[in-house]
Amino acid sequence: MDRIALIGIIVEDMDSVEALNECLHEYGSYIIGRMGVPYREKSVNIISVAIDASQDVINALSGKIGRLSGITVKTIYAKTK
């Protein structure tokens, strides 16, 4: 069963952006939309990714992103089916 989730990503190491974009591209068919906000004063980027996929797919994507250097990721799930 598919779930709707929001993946919150904080990027502190700009050297990891290319690898992050590759991960997101790999799972692009599941992504509903994404929004990125550069916070230049603090030298970080804040990205939110809305996704509709199985829990296994969402966990796999979050795990891959979380293993990237200088990136923090958290996932929240909608209560709806």
pLDDT per residue, tens digit, the chain (81 aa), is 899 999 999 999 999 999 999 999 999 999 999 999 999 999 999 999 999 999 999 999 999 999 999 999 999 999 876
Domain count for the chain, please give it: 1
Give the domain range for residue 60.
Answer: 2-77
- Tokens standing for 32? 């509903």
Nearest to 48, CA basis, from 68, 18, 72, 16: 72
Q: What pTM, to 2 d.p., does this model score?
A: 0.91
The single-letter code of the amino acid at 14 is: M
| CATH code of residue 38 | 3.30.70.1150
Question: What was the pLDDT predicted at 49?
Answer: 98
Q: Is 57 exposed, middle or buried (0-12, 13-18, 19+ CB in 10 A)?
A: middle
Q: How far apart are CA 19 and CA 76, in angstroms?
A: 22
